[in-house]
Structures are given as structure tokens and as C-alpha cells.
Amino acid sequence: MISTNQFKNGTHIEVDGTVYRIIDFQHVKPGKGGAFVRTKLRKLDDGSVQDKTFRAGEKFRPVHTQTKKMQFLYEAGDAHIFMDTRDYEQIELSRELTGEAMQWVRPNDEVEVLLVDERPADVQVASAVDLAVTQTDPGVKGDTASGGGTKPATLETGVQVHVPLFVNEGDRVRVDTRSGEYVSRA
């Protein structure tokens, strides 16, 4: 059993037969009454986010999680197809499960698929990825003299980010996948 004292962001717990991922939590000790834990949980079935409050010390069944390296093959309608590179087994994950992570992944890239109780539940990508710029307006001479300024750029996966004025089409850039911000040239 896992207690509210052992909560960590990213931990999976089962509440009333439903598996949740802890996004955020806060221990609260009011001046009057017992302590409690305020949490923000993401439901694994449909991805919805819920706020729940638990008494301090309440216990839950921990959920067995593991990650498996898989290769992203292709998109098929509303699903993404992945292949285990060791035994060539293929799995299909819906867009609801993969979420925003797939905007940073090219076909044939390796990702980590999170398995919760042996069921695929989420896709985890690296915190920063290197992608080529496929479309951006050219920087006008003199614009970079002041040092600041950004312009929109479309990357090879189709996602749009803001890059400095000196970045041109064909350049490879490093982007932080958590915030979607430009980090550096690759």
C-alpha cells in the first residue's frame, strides 16, 4: 500500500477501481482539524484531469508501471502504431493516450511507452529534441542587430515554435518538449 505521505509527481495510484497519475499534490495542515492532501490527478482511461482531496495517511494500492522502448512507425487515422524492436510486436495507441507528446516524434524515432499493469498508457519523449526547420520567413538584414526578437517556424513534424531571427530554413534546432520553446541550434 502507498500512503499520502509517499506521493510523488508521476506516481500512479488506484482510487475506487480507477487508475490515476499524480500530476501535482500539496500537503495542507490547517490550524483547526486534521491534515489533508490536495491532489490533481489525470485519469488514465480518458486523460481527464480531476482535483481530489484525501485525508493525511490514507492508503492506496500502488500500480505497477514500467517503460518499454518502442519505435514509432506511423499514424493510422486516430491512432499511432508502435513496434517493440526486440520481438517486433506492434501496438496501437489512441490520440487520447499519446496526447501532446507525438507532436515531437518523427516516424522511426524511438520513444518510451509507459505500461501500467501491463497495458500501454502513455508515451514519454525526451525532454529536448533536435528537429529541422521546414518553413520560416527569412530574417531581414539589420533585424538581429538589437539582439532580440523571434519569428514563427514550422518544424519537420509539423509543430510551430518561435525561433530567433537568425534561424533559417534547413537549420536544425533543439526544442524543449515540455514548454515548446527554442533552446539552441543543433
Write the pLDDT tens digit of every residue in 87-145.
888 888 887 777 777 888 888 888 888 887 777 777 878 888 888 888 888 766 655 55
Go through the domains of the chain in sequence order and give each one's CATH number: 2-62 (2.30.30.30), 65-124 (2.40.50.140), 128-185 (2.40.50.140)
Q: Give Cβ neighbours of residue 117 (< 8 Å, ≥ 6 apart).
A: 19, 63, 64
Per-residue model confidence (pLDDT) at position 146: 57
Each residue's pLDDT tens digit, 55-93: 888 888 878 888 888 888 888 888 888 898 888 888 888
Per-residue model confidence (pLDDT) at position 144: 54
Residue 138 DSSP symbol: P
Per-residue model confidence (pLDDT) at position 112: 86
Cell numbers representing residue 185 in the block: 541550434
Say whether pLDDT at 1 is over 60.
yes
User: In the chain, which ranges are E strands?
Assistant: 2-3, 12-15, 18-28, 36-43, 49-55, 59-62, 65-76, 79-84, 90-94, 110-116, 119-124, 128-136, 150-155, 160-164, 172-176, 181-185
3-state SS, residue 104 = helix
pLDDT, mean over the chain: 83
Q: In which element (H, E) is residue 96 found?
A: helix 95-98
